Chains A and B, each alone.
Chain A
């Protein structure tokens, strides 16, 4: 039931945001992510944004671990 396609916000009008999902433009409700801004990537579920994605920290964890475990 969960869809994890990242959607990029192009425009915001109240609680409705226009998003780009791999080239398709759609309207989604951002009531649950009120701090979302144009340019953010959203995690969508059933027509609503449920979280703002953080692209920066995506790979953090293993880059740190890699060094620690190099010894094994």
Chain B
């Protein structure tokens, strides 16, 4: 690199952006890690006025439907079940309570760092049924599939997965088709693309004529990606470009994709605030039904009522900014969240809330 340090390089990239941007551009990221990185860096205040950065439905916790969560909580309340979950799901509200509340009322809910820990729980608690709550996009799903593979090999009879896994490309298509959503380009999620590669995103450039750049997570990565987007517009050559070359190859990780495909197949999934999207979720394949918690523990639930007043759906689609929600920072704060976007550390509302008073420099 010609630039001696990152700060100087970031300044150079910003300068280039100011010089080269020749039309207004709204760029959306669809990755919770980008949401946090952008909020933390203070980039929004430093970018040229012509460039708007929106956060999309990139936080898997935030897009989890409250009625799906009701099912999970009903399951956790059952005798003999240990529900294992990633920590950030604990405080996410269903229509009536959260896993944290269920735990305080006596449900066996355990926070795990990895699905491998859930497997371990199953081998150590043979008399209980361990249900792993599978939440996450294509970055997480192969990891859960690899754990399932291990469970199959070990012939574990007391382990299953409740899949709320979701897919990124179908939701990007929903956004592109929504007349209320105005996006000129995407910052593609780095780690989802580390698995999927670029092929599943080609339709965005080909069918919609919009640039997509797979970006890393440092401020300079994001600036480089934005500059690539500006240049794609100038040259009128929309394409799927990779800025995050260190982790992302055009073919992705075919072994990981193979694991996803072996254990899961696409279904219609509900996205909080967005609704049902065909082919945007994953369920366990029929031949692995015994590892599918929904099939093993069928529950019929009265549909609960979603909370009123939370603008999460519009925030997730980039139609509203968190500040535009009347509850933001008033009745909804990270300490007392109303919607999931304020619960998860990667949620847009939480990121805006946490970093709103920081007018930070580029290099953080």
List the interface of chain A (C-beta within 8 A of B). Answer: 1-2, 4, 29, 31-34, 43, 45-48, 50-51, 53-55, 57-63, 65-66, 69, 72
**Are B114 and A50 within 8 A (Cβ)?**
no
**Are B143 and A48 within 8 A (Cβ)?**
yes
Is B360 on the interface with A (CB-CB < 8 A)? Answer: no
Interface centre among A2, A45, A59, A62 (most CB of B within 10 A): A2
Complex Cα distance, B256 from A32, in Å, reads 5
Is B261 on the interface with A (CB-CB < 8 A)? Answer: no
Q: Which residues in window 111-126 of B have CB below 8 A to A?
A: 113-117
**Are B195 and A50 within 8 A (Cβ)?**
yes
Complex Cα distance, B140 from A40, in Å, reads 21
Complex Cα distance, B258 from A10, in Å, reads 27
Give the number of residues in B that approach A within 8 Å (Cβ atoms): 47
Complex Cα distance, B245 from A61, in Å, reads 8
B residues near A4, Cβ cutoff 8 Å: 33, 190-191, 216-217, 247
Is B276 on the interface with A (CB-CB < 8 A)? Answer: no
Partner of A72, one of B19, B140, B217: B19
Q: How far in angstroms is the closest Cβ of chain B from A49?
A: 10
List the interface of chain B (C-beta within 8 A of A). Answer: 1-2, 16, 19-20, 31-33, 59-61, 86, 88, 113-117, 136, 139-140, 142-143, 146, 149-150, 190-191, 194-195, 216-217, 224, 228, 231, 242-243, 245-249, 253, 255-256, 259, 346
A residues near B88, Cβ cutoff 8 Å: 1
Partner of B60, one of A1, A29, A47, A69: A1
**Are B1 and A48 within 8 A (Cβ)?**
no
Partner of B246, one of A29, A31, A55: A55
**Are A45 and B253 within 8 A (Cβ)?**
no
Instruction: From known contacts A1-B61, A50-B194, A63-B1, infer whether A32 and B259 are also in contact, taking CB-CB under 8 Å.
Output: yes
**Are A2 and B224 within 8 A (Cβ)?**
no
B residues near A57, Cβ cutoff 8 Å: 245-246
**Are B247 and A43 within 8 A (Cβ)?**
yes
**Are A72 and B20 within 8 A (Cβ)?**
yes
Q: How far in angstroms is the closest Cβ of chain A from B198?
A: 14
Complex Cα distance, B136 from A45, in Å, reads 11
**Are B255 and A33 within 8 A (Cβ)?**
yes
A residues near B191, Cβ cutoff 8 Å: 2, 4, 43, 45, 50
A residues near B224, Cβ cutoff 8 Å: 61-62
Q: List 27 A-B contacts (CB under 8 A).
A: A1-B61, A1-B139, A1-B140, A4-B33, A4-B190, A4-B191, A4-B216, A29-B114, A31-B149, A31-B150, A34-B255, A43-B194, A46-B115, A47-B115, A48-B142, A50-B142, A50-B191, A50-B194, A50-B195, A51-B195, A51-B247, A51-B253, A58-B246, A61-B245, A66-B2, A69-B16, A69-B20
